[in-house]
Structure 1
Amino acid sequence: MLKRTLIAALTLAIPTAHADGTWEPIWSFANVSLNYLDWSQGTEERTASNASKGDFFFLELEGGAGYKWGEFYGFVDLENPDSDRSEHDGRDNRRSAAKVTSHMYLGDSPFSLYLHVYDFRDYGFDVREQDQIIGLGYRHTFANGLWLKSFLGAAHVNSNSYSGQNGYMLGWVAGYDFTLLEQKLSVTNWHEQTFKRDRGYIEDNYVNGSAGELGTNGAVSLWWLPVPAITAGVQYRYAHNKLGTPDAYQNAMIYTLKYNF
């Protein structure tokens, strides 16, 4: 039901924008990055028997664009792209993740129709999951330059063992640009809070136990832009009752180098 609604909403929004002749982007960006994710020692210990976590490299292609009628953001990640074997058991160690989000503006108001699809594949364990969110968005830029793009929506999931409605998601992306010692810097945060998740999902999609109905997922990042073509960053990654591990806090540092097109 939610998937059909998602497709219908996109189908209705795009022709309207085309008829108005507003396909010229107001802003856009794109980059490719090399990233290294380093899980904390505590996370590796806490998850040793519950969807164990190991450090890895990943490549990411990321981009977004904004129009008079709406905006889009997306990325594709390839984890362990240089290796098809893990170091200890010989299985395929590659994974992929992709995400597309959009705010379809509701007139001149700060509110929007929010659409969100996230797809994850683990080829060694033959695990797949796709999350689809449809809801209401809200966007605001404060006088000091801090910007916020938030949403609240109903969730639908398709995975190996469960497909159906899966509660709700509240989330946001926020950022603040500033200059320090004549260097361009920015701080960003993305956060997703899932709640009232279906009992069948949290019993069947976690290792060695059932997770709670509330799940937390996000990252806080510091970015440095020494020249227009290069962005370097460090990210604090956090999660709880997510990523296959029940009832355990997980955290990591991600070190990123981007090339901006």
Structure 2
Amino acid sequence: MKNFKMLAIAGAAAAAMTAGTAQAEQYYGFMTASVNYLDWTEKTIDRTTTVDQGGQGLGGTKKDFLFLELEGGAGYDWGDVYGFIDIENPGNINKSQNERKEGDKVVEERGVAVPSSFRIAAKGSIAYNIGKTNWNAYGHIYSFTEARGDFHGGFFDQNVVLGVSYDINTDSGFWMKPFIGLHYENQRFAGAGFNGYMAGWVLGYNFKLGNQNFMVSNWHETEFAREDQFRSNGTPHKLDKMGQNGAVALWWNATKKFTAGVQYRYADQKLGTAAYHDAVIFTAKYNF
């Protein structure tokens, strides 16, 4: 229940923050709903498949999956907010323990997420301007929840980062927000505590080809000085003290209401896998 409590706290904070922006000047805002399909590469599937099934067994077995996403953000004269919620494997929401495959049961016993399970991932971030500078007081919370067997005994992981960020805006269409902060983690099998630091960025570049609007974007996170407490991944292998996580995307804004995109998703010593792994995500968005 800790994970749901943290989401509730984050939701309440977001609601209070939204109420407080009633008198603030808003510079921009967006909200989208999307359908996404994540396709892991063959080398990733090989690296995460269990040894007894012919793979390398370097992490929790990974399978391609569909997910639905709601995403939004806004910028004000005091700072900006952003958030998303993903519903992964939505077709398996009512899948019971008796309907699970033997392979899933084996994965469960290793203490890692089951690849075909119903899952919810959510993130919220806030950057509050420090005076009239481009520096911000920055914080984000990410929560991943997996349901197993009628929602009992699932895996959960929350990550809270508190630090600073910096706004970079240009007239050329390029923008970037790097950040760095302390990293606090709460995970089902590892417990809770400070887990080193996290640094990263989000960036984008808007451009035109002919009369069509495009954007290249990238989000990236580097975790470093991670504690031994959080480096186990349910296999004999241990995650390094540093891990990488992110995605590079190309977006085609076909109309004001429709956006199509393809993303290269990458991670190294993250997502429960003690190796580099990657995927391609195909996305169709509706822009409100």
TM-score, normalised relative to structure 2? 0.80
Task: Provide structure 1 residue ranges, at least 5 long, that are not aligned to the other structure.
Answer: 1-6
Instruction: Compare the two structures and name the one with the higher helix fraction.
Output: 2
Identity percentage of aligned residues: 42
Structure 2 equivalent of residue 253 of structure 1: 280
Q: Over aligned residues, Cα RMSD in angstroms?
A: 2.1
Structure 2 equivalent of residue 190 of structure 1: 219
Shift of 1:182: 1.1
- Residues 207, 244 of structure 1: 8 Å contact kept: no
| Matched AA of 2:187 | S
| Matched AA of 2:270 | K
Structure 2: distance between partners of 1:64 and 1:88: 41
Aligned length: 247
Structure 2 equivalent of residue 31 of structure 1: 32
Structure 1: distance between partners of 2:199 and 2:244: 10
Shift of 1:107: 1.4
Task: Provide structure 2 residue ranges, at least 5 long, that are not aligned to the other structure.
Answer: 1-8, 50-56, 106-115
Structure 1: distance between partners of 2:91 and 2:25: 38
Does residue 156 of the first structure (1) align with residue 156 of the second (2)?
Answer: no
- Secondary structure of the corresponding residue to residue 100 of structure 1: strand
Change (3 A) 1:93 1:21: closer
Q: Deviation per CA, 1:23-79: give whole Å up to 9, x if none.
A: 342210001000000000010001112211100000000000111101000000010
| Matched AA of 2:192 | S
Structure 2: distance between partners of 1:87 and 1:62: 32
Does residue 106 of the first structure (1) align with residue 130 of the second (2)?
Answer: yes
- Residues 233, 256 of structure 1: 8 Å contact kept: yes
Q: Deviation per CA, 1:120-170: give whole Å up to 9, x if none.
A: 012136110000000011011134221001100000001112210000000
- Residues 263, 282 of structure 2: 8 Å contact kept: yes
Matches within 5 A, 1:1-261: 18=20, 22-48=23-49, 49=57, 50-83=59-92, 84=95, 89=103, 93-124=117-148, 126-160=154-188, 161-203=190-232, 205-246=233-274, 248-261=275-288
- Residues 86, 93 of structure 1: 8 Å contact kept: no
- Residues 22, 67 of structure 1: 8 Å contact kept: no
Change (3 A) 1:141 1:86: farther
Structure 2: distance between partners of 1:88 and 1:30: 40
* Range with greater deviation from structure 2 (138-147 or 166-175): 138-147
- Residues 24, 78 of structure 2: 8 Å contact kept: no
Structure 2 equivalent of residue 4 of structure 1: none
| Matched AA of 1:81 | P
Change (3 A) 1:23 1:87: farther
TM-score, normalised relative to structure 1? 0.88
Structure 2: distance between partners of 1:239 and 1:40: 12
